[in-house]
Amino acid sequence: MGNYKAYFALSAIFGLLALTIILKAILLQDPGQFFLIGLVQIPLGLMQWVVGGRLAAISANYPAWVKKQVGNYWILTGSYFVGLLIVRYALTYFWPAWLIWLYVVPWTIAAYQFSLVWRMGALRKRQLQKRELLQLFNH
């Protein structure tokens, strides 16, 4: 993918911001604070779209399981937006559906992509270590 460290650092910042908002809402006993998580989700979602596009572009350089997982990510992302339309028009006034669809589902998709990139980074690290080992013995 390129710069795994930057991806993990940005993901950690977004996660820390979300946890801070959750902790603040719990400590202040103000559920209205949870809506601030949306301010974290918007840039996180944009970052994930860019990374997802990049993953789709380079997945040919990785094993078949990576292609499958990248495809699953895009299916999940597309399904999220289809589901959002369903919630919008079929469950307009049913707030639990809105809360689940706006907060739980996107973070689940984000965790899925994070785990995929984590495994890709580990695979890349192993490949580099093997290359260095081969170069050591070939000289």
User: Mind listing the pLDDT tens digit for each residue in 51-97?
Assistant: 999 999 988 888 899 999 999 999 999 999 999 999 889 888 888 88
Supply the pLDDT for residue 43. 92
Here the tokens at position 35 are 């809506």
Cα–Cα distance measured from residue 110 to residue 11, given in angstroms and rounded to the nearest whole number: 9
Q: Which residues contact 83 (CB under 8 A, 6 or more apart)?
A: 101, 105
pLDDT exceeds cutoff 90 at 131: no
Q: Is the pLDDT of residue 133 over 70?
A: no
Residue 74 exposed, middle or buried by CB count within 10 Å (0-12, 13-18, 19+): middle
pTM beyond 0.75, yes or no: yes
Task: Please report where in the chains the tokens 């301010």 appear, as a residue.
Answer: 39
From residue 5, alpha-carbon distances to 92, 106, 107 in Å are 40, 22, 20
Question: Is the CB of residue 114 less than 8 Å from the CB of residue 71?
Answer: no
